[in-house]
Amino acid sequence: MGSTPKSRPGLSLFFPRLRLRPTLLLHMTILTTPRLRLEPLNESHLEELFVLNSDPEVMRYITGKPQTRDEALEMIELVKARWEKFGFSWWGFIELASGELIGAGCIQYLGRDPANPLEIGWRLRQDKWGQGFASEAAQRMAAFAFETQGADLLCAVCHQENSASAKVMQRLGMHYRGVEKWYDMDTAVYEMTRGEWDAKPVA
């Protein structure tokens, strides 16, 4: 990453520069937390997303292999289509202090199948691990799923050896459901109902 923080204009400024369709803008939602701005992924995030997804350690428990630049671009195109179709998909986590993309996360259908409940997911740059960013972003994305999208159930899956991600799920208030096959692997599945979300103490 460069040493000079990059300034990122708001949605209304940088999306017109990319000449996205007005209908697509209507379906995209920026979320904020004390330390992060969650921006719907688009071409302006490509290089930083590639850095994130090409790190073998970041991808170790996700796909097991680093992503190429072309695959990162393909991901962005798929994400944009899902934002337009569903009104939710992947965000880039922009650190307010640096202006850098330090991670990414999503609300999507489990298994990418609209017949399934919503799923929450995240990944972070290695240098940002262990600093609470995943929990901070997950809390905001879960609020979006339950309070904006009206989800009755929110799921999360992780590699059975990914204890760090499982702890984020537990801190979010999710409970362990069991081992199920998702995304071509046997994953640990966690879930939370709308009632459990509503019963959580206000932070």
Average pLDDT over residues 48-66: 97
- Number of domains comprising the chain: 1
Residue 6 maps to a domain: no
Residue 57 falls within a domain, yes or no?
yes
User: Which domain CATH number covers 121?
Assistant: 3.40.630.30
pLDDT at residue 43 above 60? yes
Residue 3 lies in a domain: no
Provide the 3-class DSSP secondary structure of residue 193.
strand
* Alpha helix stretches (DSSP H) within the chain: 11-18, 22-26, 46-53, 56-59, 69-86, 133-143, 163-172, 194-199
Residue 203 has pLDDT above 80, yes or no: no
- Let me know if residue 4 belongs to a domain: no
Q: Is residue 156 part of a domain?
A: yes
| Residue 51 falls inside a structural domain | yes
pTM: predicted TM-score of the whole model, two decimal places: 0.88
Please indicate, yes or no, if residue 152 is contained in any of the structural domains.
Answer: yes
Question: Is residue 122 domain-resident?
Answer: yes
C-alpha dihedral, 96 to 32 to 34 to 127, nearest 10°: -50
pLDDT tops 70 at residue 6: no
pLDDT digits (tens, 9 = 90+) for 186-202: 999 999 999 999 999 87
- Residue keyed to tokens 């740059």: 125
> By residue range, what is the domain housing residue 183?
11-199
**Average pLDDT score over residue span 3-8:** 37
Helix (H, G, I), strand (E, B) or coil at 107: strand
